[in-house]
Structures are given as structure tokens and as C-alpha cells.
Amino acid sequence: MVIAIGFEGSANKIGVGIVRDGEVIANPRRTYITPPGQGFLPRETADHHRKCVLDVLAEALKEAGLKGTDVDCVCFTKGPGMHAPLNTTAIAARTVAQLWGKPLVGVNHCVGHIEMGRLITGAINPVVLYVSGGNTQVIAYSMNCYRIFGETIDIAIGNCLDRFARVLKISNDPSPGYNIEQLAKGGKKLVELPYATKGMDVSFSGILTAIERLAKNQLGKSVTAEDLCYSLQETLFAMLVEITERAMAHCGSEEVLIVGGVGCNKRLQEMMGVMAEERGATLYATDMRFCIDNGAMIAQAGALMYGAGASDRLEDTTVTQRFRTDDVVVNWRTD
């Protein structure tokens, strides 16, 4: 029986999760929320995590009914992410690992999302659409590697949504993407926006520029905020469904899994579900507990790595802002 504790703090959420043999037994987190019209900066986000991490750790241990010495390994997000929040979280993980005398396992954030999605949904070998504030990738497993079939060539989809939310000055609570989703439900008019798929890759920066210009010149005249949110979602999600379907056709896959914070979006799930049904495939997705950054996903991926013999020397537990999904040797999978 392996009990793993995971520390996640790559962006504006600090989470500590505990997994026991593939069962999530604790997963509390806190979110750094900024005023409308503002994003979150690295230093202030790191300060938030530093103030919250011990409370979240105590809450996780209490929820699981465990002591720190009961865990087998301490896992933390090595990257990718914002350096200051990553470093703050890694320091907390290093400290408790030394206090408890436990091995450390550095985890790729993206792989954490994939393994949590596979655990919660039961998907076996899906094509994965990973969509979040910092990443947009279409991924499939082959020969001990999560291989990237397509990705954004500029900004991530979550960043695109967040930046447009700042233009509209809508609330960041619980997240700007969630509030755009709610506004989009009231949209009545589909405004034409650039559609930028480039082979298996996508580009969002030009779409953001176009809709920012529309908001500046037409908002309150020919279009409403709801119309713009609706149009932005429909365009972005259609692009993602297109490249995901292409990857499924190439791999001959009958499963598709959506992970990452934007994966909570019900409209994205609906559009992907229509495509999957037409192909005779199955859609797998999770809710906010597991789509959004959380400690349990780091614990789960770390437990799999630890079970395959991985652990890091203390001097190797640095963090990095750049850590690609396909840089990880997935030696815990043999299929």
C-alpha cells in the first residue's frame, strides 16, 4: 500500500492532496483571487501560498486521518508554472520530507492532470485534450511517453479567456473562465472571429486581439458582453474539437479525456461529446474537484512514479518554469 502526499502550487492555487492506493482521501486547496480586471503576479501569488500552505497541509492530514510519518513519499510540482509560486511550494515539500524522513518525488504538472483524469474517470488509453491557463495540448500515450500531437503556438486557451475577462472587468471569483462560461449562456448573436488551426496546432492571440477590438468598438452597440463571450467560446472550442478529432483518427482511439482547468467548461464537454458520439467513441471528463489544479493529482502521479522506482535527491528538487509533457519517461505504464 502506497500513501502519497502531493503539493501543488504552480499558479494561483495551493493544494495538498493525499492518495492511498489510487483513492483520493484528502484534497483541500486555496485560491488566490485578485480584483476584477487584474491578473495574478508571481510574487503576490507566492506570498499567498506561503501564508496558506501550512493550514492546507494540516487540513489534508486531518481529513485523511493520518500523521505526516504515515505517508510513503512527498510529491511536489516541479513544473511547468510560475517560478515564485512553484518554489514556495517546493520549499514546503522539502521541509516536511526532511522532518518526516520521507523521499521526494518531483512531478510534471501536465502529467499530474493526465493521471488524475485517468484515475477518476477510468479511461484506459485516451487521446487527451489538456486545456488550462498555461497549457493547450492534444496528447496521446505511446512507448513510455505522453506524446504531443498538437498544441498552441502562442498563448494558452485559459490565458485567452482570462485576458478577455479582464477586458470586460468581470469577477475572478471563482475564476474568470467560469464567469465567461456563465455569461456565454446568455449570448444570442454569434460574431465571426478568426479561426486559427494550423495543421495540428492552434493559435489564440489573433482571436484575442480581434475580440478585444470588438469589445472596444461595438460593446453596448451592436453586441453584448454575453454575445462576445458566447462567440469566443464557440470559436475556441470548435478549434479544439477539430484537432482532437484528428488525433483520435490518427491513433484509432475510441476514448477522449479532457483535463485541466478549462476542462470544467460544460459547453466544451458538450461539443466534444457530440464529436465523440459521432465517432462511436467515449468522452471522459471530471468536475471542478479534479479538473482544476489540486494536490491529489500530484500525489497520484507521484505515487505511480515512486512505485516505478523514482525519487529525487534533495539537491535535485529544483523547480522549472519549462517542463514539457513529452520530456517525462512514463515508465509506470507498460501498455
DSSP 101: T
Q: What's the pLDDT score for residue 202? A: 98
Q: What's the pLDDT score for residue 328? A: 98
Angle in degrees, CA 292, 160, 52, rounded to 5: 35
- Containing 310, the helix (H) or strand (E) segment is none
What grid cell was written down for 6? 502531493
* pLDDT band, residue 192 (cuts 50/70/90): very high
pLDDT digits 0-9 by tens, 138-191? 999 999 999 999 999 999 999 999 999 999 999 999 999 999 999 999 999 999
Query: Could you identify the residue written with the cell 493547450?
Result: 136
What grid cell was written down for 315? 539537491
Whole-number mean pLDDT of the chain? 97
The torsion angles phi and psi of 162, rounded to 5 degrees, stand at -65, -40
Q: What's the pLDDT score for residue 319? A: 98
CA-nearest of 105, 113, 92 to 307 is: 105
Gap between the Cα atoms of 126 and 203, Å rounded: 24
Q: What's the pLDDT score for residue 331? A: 97
| The model scores a pTM over 0.85 | yes
pLDDT digits 0-9 by tens, 117-133? 999 999 999 999 999 99
For 189-210, what is the mean pLDDT?
97
Q: What's the pLDDT score for residue 1? A: 83
- Measure Cα distances from 73 to 41, 68, 299 in Å: 31, 10, 9
pLDDT digits 0-9 by tens, 36-59? 999 999 999 999 999 999 999 999
* pLDDT band, residue 110 (cuts 50/70/90): very high
For 280-289, what is the mean pLDDT?
96
DSSP string, 167-210: HHT---SS-HHHHHHHHHTT----------EETTEE--HHHHHH
DSSP 152: B
pLDDT digits 0-9 by tens, 4-24? 999 999 999 999 999 999 999
* pLDDT band, residue 89 (cuts 50/70/90): very high
